[in-house]
Amino acid sequence: MKKVGIAIALTLPLNAAFSLFLFNGLKSAVEDEIAVQSSPSVRLANYDYASPQVNAKPAGNFYIPEDFVQTANLVTQAVVNITVNNRGTSEPSSGGSGVIISSDGYIITNNHVIDGGGKVEVSLNNKRIYTAEVVGKDPYTDLALLKINASGLQPLRYADSDNVQVGEWVLAVGNPFNLTSTVTAGIVSAKGRNINILQGMYSIESFIQTDAVVNPGNSGGALVNMQGELVGINAAIMSETGAYEGYSFAIPSNLVKKIMRDLKEFGTAQRALLGVRIKDVDNEIAADFNLGDVEGVLVRTVDTGSSAEDAGLEKNDIIIGVNGVKTASVPELQEQIARFRPGNSVSLDIIRNGRQLRKGNVVLRGMEAEMSMKK
């Protein structure tokens, strides 16, 4: 009995010491956990030149191409720097970018880059400088065509902008702030954007929106896909300050290609019109007309003597496609029609009284004819 009492007496201090050890360890672990939860990883937002993190990649499964080197090498040779001098002087008044589209010197730029200026000079990637002739310009799409006396140039191929997908990678190439051959990367953020930047009721705005960095001087430059094909011509930025703030806008290549063909052949754009007053289908219109989807273009009025009247279009028809290409909004419809010349015929998919119809062989009239009927 005495031995049992001695054993218990010895065990109690050991148990107490062990329990205290466990408690302190648990307390330390809990305090560490609380500290982690209540003190998130916060750091000052200054840039540390001693240990830059420029090449750090996002964690997780976020996909980024290995690099853009091959695409950039394909494109930079075809993007030029444009300087416009004041009339009658050699002092520069404005500038921007341009894209070579033929080996014999035809170059795309924006109308606003060269409009109202004097002598236009084009500087190639190899630093050779040429005086450019303005072949033609179209304020309604903000495009212009230049020509320099050169040969053996490296042009860009056109991509099919209808196939461009929201979310795909694109590069913007141009000369922001006169910094030549600048390449930035981003994704296509949206298509068919109207930002009300072009003047005139016949203006076409169906921009490709991207988050690739575009700044003053990029106007007229290239937006390309990963194959180095021309997706669009950079034209505008969404900005309160005049510099890049997150989104930029490019004229889609399918429209560019048509306007360039017109300017080269005629010196002016050959613009076809339907002759309708239209508006986007919204939720209220979709409900009134029992539409399954909130998309399409409502015909508000049909102009007398217009292509639309000849084709039998009526007020309250809803246009949903041109030649089988879906037109979910006014910009998309305007872009599709603008790809055709007066005298061309198209088919229109419409909804009338709940039924889908196709109006075939709609012969388009030109802008001049449309405007003369309104006088």
Active-site residue list:
112, 142, 219
- For residue 130, the one-letter residue type is Y
- For residue 347, the one-letter residue type is S
Distance CA 139, CA 100 (A): 20
Q: 182-193 and 169-174 as β-strands: parallel, antiparallel, unpaired?
A: antiparallel
Neighbour tally for 15: CB within 10 Å: 9
Please state the length of the chain. 375
Taking each helix axis as running N to C, give the angle between helix 330-338 and helix 253-266, from 0 to 180 degrees, rounded to the nearest 10: 30
Residues 6+ away with beta carbon under 8 Å from 57: 64
Residues 6+ away with beta carbon under 8 Å from 151: 103, 104, 105
* Distinct helix (H) and strand (E) counts, the chain: 8, 20
The first and second tokens of residue 170, run together, are 């694109």
Distance CA 300, CA 375 (A): 20
Give which of 259, 289, 253, 290 is closest to 272, Cα–Cα. Answer: 259
Mapped onto helix, strand or coil, the DSSP state of residue 3 is helix
Distance CA 76, CA 228 (A): 10
